[in-house]
Chains A and B, each alone.
Chain A
């Protein structure tokens, strides 16, 4: 399995500001995903980060609110823009390899918006 790191591990932010979360993998991966886990809730896919092209967003998530970059096969960023307290969640990246169906998750970024 991959070694996945996320930065920051946690942050407390003010309403109206933006936070960029980084996801770094120790090997090249085919697919990278960003999930949100709201307090006491399950995981919901935000988008698939595509290398060299625009991310594919799930229903209910838009690029203006959650811009994503993936400049290469080992790195991606998720920005949470113009934050409100409703954005307080754990944000997790996950990765998948071609030829395997398993996704491996990073440790998550715990975001609190005041």
Chain B
């Protein structure tokens, strides 16, 4: 069965410091991996995805994520955090064999960036 784990409920970083939000997955075959961000009282915004190619993918707002097949991970990173990055972050996976496009989401990680 497909699954996604975000082991940290909350990540706290100081503004200007690098941030990492962790995600591990379990899916048969080569996964399609996604990161979304949700600001309070808002829908989900797409940040970035990995389908194939370079393991390091770059996305919106200066975020990037590294696909590591051996560790089945897809951690979200940013070199220098901003207070405005504070939000709820979701990792999601889709099986390439799925013909429905269904996304499986992790539990979410709240990122708190303090000034």
Contacts and interface: CB of A to CB of B under 8 A. Distances in A.
B100 A104 contact: no
Interface residues of A, number: 25
Best-buried of A42, A107, A108 by chain B (most CB within 10 Å):
A42
B44 A33 contact: no
B1 to A, nearest CB: 11
A106 B44 CA distance: 7
Interface in B97-111: 100-103, 105-108
Nearest to B6: A42
Given A101-B51, A104-B46, A48 B90 contact: no
B-side interface size class:
20 to 34
Given A42-B106, A42-B108, A105-B36, A31 B42 contact: no
Interface string A1-36: 100101000000000000000000000000101000
Contacts of B106: 42
Q: Is the interface of A mostly helix, strand, loop or mixed?
A: strand
Contacts of A44: 105
Interface string B76-115: 0000000000000010001000001111011110000000
Interface of A: 1, 4, 6, 31, 33, 41-45, 48, 56, 58, 92, 94, 96, 101-108, 110
12 contacts: A33-B101, A33-B102, A42-B108, A43-B103, A44-B105, A58-B102, A92-B44, A101-B32, A102-B49, A103-B46, A105-B45, A108-B43
Given A102-B34, A105-B45, A107-B42, 9 more contacts: A33-B102, A42-B106, A42-B107, A43-B90, A43-B103, A48-B100, A102-B46, A104-B46, A108-B43
